[in-house]
Chains A and B, each alone.
Chain A
C-alpha cells in the first residue's frame, strides 16, 4: 500500500513537471497576462513598471506579469520562448516577420486600428499584426553646433555636396566628421549606409526591397552599388574612424555626447538622450541629404505591441495592448523616455518635450506634409523587409567596407550571396 502510494506520488510529480515545461503554451495563471518588454538606458525597469501600473490601474480587470528580454535582441528571445512553448500573451517591439506568417500573431481589425495614423503600415500577407504605434526616422543626422561653428560651417548641409564640404572642413580642423559605432549591436556601423540606400535607392524606387524579394533587382545592381559607393567614399576620405566599429551602442552615444565627432547619424530615439543628458554643447539635427537636395526622409512606423494569437487570454491581451498604446499619459512618457513620434491620430507631443526632440519632430512633420517619407533600409519588418538574418549581414558588409576588407562590389556580392542563402 505504502509502495503504491509512493509510486503514485512520483508519477504525479513527474507529470506535473512535464506539464510545466513541455508545450505548456502561455504560462500565465488566473487572469494574468504575460508581457515581454526589454530594457535600454532610455527604457529602464521603472519606465515599464510605471507604464504597466498606469494601464492596470485604469483597467481593474487586467493583471500583467512583466517579462524582460535578456538583451536588446527581444525578437531572438521571443523565438526562444515560442520554441519552448512559452510565447508571451503580449510583446512589444518584436519584429513580427515569421511570427505573423506562421499564425502566431493576432491580426488587428480595421476597427481596432482606427485611432492609429498609419493603420496600413507593415502588412504581412495582407494582415496587420503589430500596432503601428510610433514612427522613427532612421537616420536623421544630429550635429554638434559648437564643432560646426569652430569649423566655420554656418548652416546644416542640405545636399550631398554640402555634406562632403562640411566634412572636409571638419577634418581640416582635426575633428572627426562622423561618430559611428558597431560592436555587439552592429547597427551603429551601418547607419550612414542605411541613410544612403533609403534616400538614394528608395527615393527613386520606393518598392526596391519588394523587387529584391521578387528577384527583379540585386544588391550588385548599379543603383544599390552607387549608394554603397558613396558610403565607401566617406570612408576613403577619412571622414569615419574605422577603429570605432568596435564601440557598442551606448559607448557610441556617449562619444558623441562627449564631443568626439561632429555628426551622429542615428534614429530619432537619440533625441531623448540628448535632451535628458544635456551635453555642454547645443545639438542640431538635419534630414539625411540627397544628391540634389530633394527631401526624402527614411522612417519606420511600427514597433508597437503584438498579441499572441493562440493566447488563452486573447481578449485581455488585446484590451491591454490597445490600452497601453493609446493611453495619453503613456504616450507622453514614451516621447520623453525614447523620443518616439507617436503615430496616433490627433496626438500632440507634450509642450515640455526637449528641444532636440522638437527639432526632429518638425523635420518629420514637414516630410509627412510633403509626402516625402520612404522606408528606412534594414529597419523594415513587413513583406517589403529584409529576409530573416539579413540585417546582421548588412552590418557586416558595412563594417567590411569601413575596415577596408572588401571593396564595394565584393560587399554587394556578399549581400546577394547571403540573400540566396537566407531564402
Chain B
C-alpha cells in the first residue's frame, strides 16, 4: 500500500493553524514576554537608557503599601463581581426561562447593558449616583434626610463601583444561564416530577448539576473581567475618593506606567496581576470542571 507523502499533510495542518498561531504569538505572547522583560528593568521612556535591575521591582512591589492596597481593593471587587451577577443571573434566568413575547422582551432588556460601552455605563451611573443625582433625590423624596455619598464616601465608593460592574455583567450571566437551562432535557424534569419531586427539589437535583458548565463559564469570565477592572474606576472615581479607596491593580498599572513614566515597575505589577489571574483561573476551572456532568 502506498503511503501518502507527509509534507502535504503537514502543510495542510500548518495552513489551517498558522494564522491563529501567528496572531496569538504576536498579540498575546509577545506583549506578555515584552512586559516581563520590562519588569526586570527600570525602563522609563523619557529617561533612556534603561538598566537591568533583576527582581528589584518585584521586591519593591511587595513592600509598596499602595500596591498592597490595590491588591486588597481588587480582591474585594472580584469577590463581589464573581458572586453577585452569578447569583442574580441565575435567579433572573430561571424567572425568564419561559415562552412568550414578554419573556423574550425582558431577556433583551437584561442583555442591553452588556452591549453598552463600559465608559458610557460609567458616565450614566456617575450622574445617577451623584450626591445631587436622581438616586439621592429619590431617597430624599421618601424622607431620607442625609442620603449616602455613593461615590464620595470612602467606605462606600468601592461597593458603588462594584455594583456598576455587576449591573453591566448581569445580562451576560442571564444569557449564559438561559442557554444552560434550555439544554436541560425536559424528560429528566418530567421523570423527576413523576417521582414526586417538587420545583425546588427538581431544580436542586436535576437542573443545577446540569448548569455546571454555565457556572464555569460565568465564573471564569467574571473573575478575569473583575481583575482587570480599569475603565469603570477611571471614569467613575479616578481611583478615589482619596488614596487607595477604589484604585485597582489595573488602574495602578496604568497610573504608574503612563502618568509617572515608571514602565519597568508598572510592568512588574502587570506580571504579578497576570500570575494571580492565571493561578486563580486554573484553580477555579479545575474545581468547577469536576462538578460538570455529561448527559
Chain A contacts to B: CB under 8 angstroms: 76, 79-80, 82-83, 98-99, 101-102, 182-186, 189, 241-248, 251, 255, 260, 387-393, 395-397, 399-400, 402-403, 405-406, 414, 417-418, 421-422
Instruction: State which residues 121-164 of B face A: CB under 8 Å.
Output: 126, 129-132, 149-154, 157
Q: How far is the CB of B66 from chain A (nearest CB, A)?
A: 8
Q: How far is the CB of B91 from chain A (nearest CB, A)?
A: 31
A73 to B126, CA, bound (A): 19
Q: Is B278 an interface residue (CB 8 A)?
A: no
Specify which of A83, A186, A387, A418 is in contact with B238 (CB 8 Å cutoff): A186
Q: Is B89 an interface residue (CB 8 A)?
A: no
Q: Is B293 an interface residue (CB 8 A)?
A: no
- Cβ B126 vs Cβ A396 within 8 A: no
Q: How far is the CB of B52 from chain A (nearest CB, A)?
A: 19
Specify which of B64, B152, B255 is in contact with A389 (CB 8 Å cutoff): B255
- Cβ B152 vs Cβ A243 within 8 A: yes
Specify which of B130, B153, B243 is in contact with A393 (CB 8 Å cutoff): B243
B151: chain A residues within 8 A (beta carbon): 183, 246
The 9 closest A-B pairs by CB, nearest first: A389-B260, A246-B151, A400-B242, A98-B46, A246-B152, A243-B131, A243-B149, A396-B243, A399-B242
A189 to B240, CA, bound (A): 11
- Cβ B152 vs Cβ A245 within 8 A: yes
Q: How far is the CB of A347 from chain B (nearest CB, A)?
A: 34
Q: How far is the CB of A125 from chain B (nearest CB, A)?
A: 12
User: Which A residue sits closest to B265, measured CB to CB?
Assistant: A421
- Cβ A183 vs Cβ B149 within 8 A: no
- Cβ A392 vs Cβ B239 within 8 A: yes
User: Which A residue sits closest to B65, measured CB to CB?
Assistant: A417
* Residues of B in contact, count (CB < 8 Å): 37
A405 to B151, CA, bound (A): 15
- Cβ A403 vs Cβ B46 within 8 A: no
A241 to B136, CA, bound (A): 15
Interface of B is mostly: loop
- Cβ B237 vs Cβ A102 within 8 A: no
A406 to B243, CA, bound (A): 10
B262: chain A residues within 8 A (beta carbon): 389, 422
A183: chain B residues within 8 A (beta carbon): 126, 151, 236-238
- Cβ B64 vs Cβ A421 within 8 A: yes
12 cross-chain CB contacts under 8 A: A79-B258, A101-B46, A101-B47, A182-B241, A184-B126, A243-B131, A246-B149, A247-B130, A388-B261, A389-B262, A392-B238, A422-B262
User: Which A residue sits closest to B157, measured CB to CB?
Assistant: A246
- Cβ B241 vs Cβ A102 within 8 A: no
Q: How far is the CB of B157 from chain A (nearest CB, A)?
A: 8
A399: chain B residues within 8 A (beta carbon): 240-243
- Cβ A244 vs Cβ B152 within 8 A: yes
Assess A80 versus B258: contact at CB under 8 Å? Given A244-B131, A403-B154: yes
B152: chain A residues within 8 A (beta carbon): 182, 242-246, 403
Sample of 15 further A-B pairs with CB below 8 A, known A99-B46, A246-B126, A396-B242: A79-B45, A98-B46, A98-B261, A183-B126, A246-B149, A248-B126, A251-B130, A389-B260, A395-B240, A399-B242, A403-B153, A403-B241, A405-B243, A418-B66, A422-B260
A389 to B130, CA, bound (A): 27
Q: How far is the CB of B135 from chain A (nearest CB, A)?
A: 12
A414 to B259, CA, bound (A): 18
Q: Is B118 an interface residue (CB 8 A)?
A: no
In this complex, the member of A79, A186, A396, A397 whose beta carbon has the largest number of chain B beta carbons within 10 angstroms is A396
A251 to B159, CA, bound (A): 22
Q: Is B207 an interface residue (CB 8 A)?
A: no
Q: Is B234 an interface residue (CB 8 A)?
A: yes
Q: How far is the CB of A218 from chain B (nearest CB, A)?
A: 18
Residues 228-263 of B, flagged 1 when their CB comes within 8 A of A and 0 if not, give 000000111111111101000000000110111110
User: Which B residue sits closest to A415, measured CB to CB?
Assistant: B243
- Cβ A392 vs Cβ B150 within 8 A: no
Q: Is B48 an interface residue (CB 8 A)?
A: yes
Specify which of A255, A389, A393, A421 is in contact with B261 (CB 8 Å cutoff): A389
